[in-house]
């Protein structure tokens, strides 16, 4: 596709070449259109459904565009579940896990990227390999452990779990970020006699701030979307998140046989919107963060 422009001088500008180029353009735009359609269709459907009056929601065949729009589903949602409580919980858990995981990962990543010591490769490997331990397979012992120390249904407990979950990936990414930075400034500070804390806070943090910001954003999204830990460890309104609320709506027996799509779509949209805003604002950072570790 980009090759075409490169090939131009060789092929010349005969009509045949022009025709081929024209056809290629059309095919390219068709492909882009198809891609957008496939990616956006579910989003469109959830979004438009949340504004569709309930009586129009279950029509056969489905209406692609409702004849009127309403906010009724959102009002019903707030009346049926502790929506704002869940929202607040989701925010606290996501921010908490994101900040904690990035702080711990930053310290560890700095040691792995900069300090030469025996076993550093091994520890890095342990972090990476521990990604493979399935979250679901460790739930039972974790539940027992949490019962023992009284952390079930506590925000702090869930934040610890979610931070741990995203920690290895964060360490991995931050190590590649830090390794790319020039070492001279730190060297100079060290020679000047700065201690570890001074070095980290005054020298390293200002330089890696973009990387730290990136990981805070990415980890926020991952933690915001997390289901399993809150589902198991958040057992009351005080700690339940939006993802748990959504799942509960789907299986709530008091809602009758059908699933309450009106409420579920409204909840889904409320849950997607912060994430979409973050993606739109920080697209570049997110892409750099997600591809950093994988490309090293």
Partner 1 sequence: MAVHTTSTAIGSGNPLAHYRRPRRSRLARNRYLAAFLLLSPALLLRLFTSVYPFFQTFYFAFSNYNPSFPPLKFTGTANFVRMWKDLAVSSSVTFTVMFVLFSTLLQLFFGILVALLLNSSFRARSLVRAVNLIPWAIPMVVAAMGFRWMFDSEYGLISDLIRSLTGLDIPWLTTSWGAKAAVIMVNVWKSTPFLALVFLAALQGLPADLLEAARVDGASRVQAFFKITLPLILSQVVTIGLFMVVWQLAAFDLIYTMTGGGPGYATSVLAYNIYQAAFGGLNFGYASAISLVLFVLVFIMAGLGLMLFRRSEVSY
Closest CB 30 distance from partner 1, rounded Å? 11
Q: In sequence order, which ranges of the chain are alpha helices (DSSP H)? A: 3-11, 15-50, 54-57, 72-80, 83-114, 120-129, 139-149, 155-180, 184-191, 196-198, 205-225, 228-233, 242-251, 261-295
Q: Which is nearer to partner 1, 18 or 42 (CB)?
A: 42
Q: Which is nearer to partner 1, 23 or 196 (CB)?
A: 196
Compute the half-sphere exposure of residue 93: CA atoms within 13 Å on the CB side of its CA: 34
Closest CB 15 distance from partner 1, rounded Å? 20
Q: Which is nearer to partner 1, 11 or 88 (CB)?
A: 11
Closest CB 238 distance from partner 1, rounded Å? 19
Closest CB 284 distance from partner 1, rounded Å? 9
CB contact at 8 A, 255 and 43: no
Report the chain's C-alpha Rg in angstroms.
Answer: 25
Which residues neighbour 105 within 8 Å (Cβ) at sequence distance 6 or greater? 167, 170, 171, 174, 215
Closest CB 13 distance from partner 1, rounded Å? 16
Q: Which is nearer to partner 1, 235 or 237 (CB)?
A: 235
Q: Which is nearer to partner 1, 237 or 283 (CB)?
A: 283
CA–CA separation, 5 vs 295, rounded Å?
28
Closest CB 71 distance from partner 1, rounded Å? 20
CA–CA separation, 54 vs 34, rounded Å?
30
CA–CA separation, 258 vs 233, rounded Å?
28
Bond preceding residue 204 cis, omega within 30 of 0: no
DSSP, residue by residue, 242-291: HHHHHHHHHH-GGG-SS--HHHHHHHHHHHHHHHHHHHHHHHHHHHHHHH
Q: Which is nearer to partner 1, 116 or 150 (CB)?
A: 116
Closest CB 197 distance from partner 1, rounded Å? 7
Q: Which is nearer to partner 1, 28 or 88 (CB)?
A: 28
């Amino acid at each position: 596709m980009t090759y075409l422009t490169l090939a131009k001088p060789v092929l010349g500008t005969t009509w045949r070449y022009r025709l081929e180029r024209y056809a290629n353009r059309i095919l390219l735009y068709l492909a882009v259109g198809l891609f957008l359609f496939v990616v956006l269709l579910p989003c469109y459907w959830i979004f438009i459904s949340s504004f569709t009056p309930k009586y129009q929601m279950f029509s056969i065949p489905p209406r692609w565009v409702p004849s009127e729009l309403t906010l009724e589903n959102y009002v019903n949602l707030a009346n049926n579940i502790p929506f704002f409580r869940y929202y607040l919980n989701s925010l606290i858990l996501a921010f908490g896990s994101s900040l904690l995981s990035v702080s711990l990962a930053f310290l560890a990543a700095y040691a792995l990227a900069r300090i030469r010591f025996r076993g550093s490769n091994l520890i890095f490997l342990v972090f990476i390999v521990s990604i493979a331990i399935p979250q679901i397979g460790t739930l039972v012992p974790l539940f027992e452990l949490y019962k023992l120390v009284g952390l079930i249904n506590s925000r702090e407990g869930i934040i610890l779990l979610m931070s741990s979950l995203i920690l290895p990936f964060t360490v991995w990414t931050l190590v590649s970020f830090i390794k790319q930075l020039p070492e001279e400034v730190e060297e100079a500070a060290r020679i000047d006699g700065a201690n570890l804390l001074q070095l980290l806070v005054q020298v390293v943090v200002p330089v890696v701030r973009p990387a730290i910001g990136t990981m805070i954003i990415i980890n926020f999204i991952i933690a915001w979307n997390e289901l399993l830990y809150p589902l198991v460890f958040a057992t009351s309104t005080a700690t339940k998140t939006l993802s748990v609320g959504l799942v509960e709506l789907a299986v709530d027996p008091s809602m009758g046989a059908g699933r309450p799509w009106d409420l579920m779509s409204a909840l889904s949209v409320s849950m997607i919107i912060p994430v979409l805003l973050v993606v739109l604002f920080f697209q570049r950072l997110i892409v750099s963060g997600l591809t950093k570790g994988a490309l090293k």
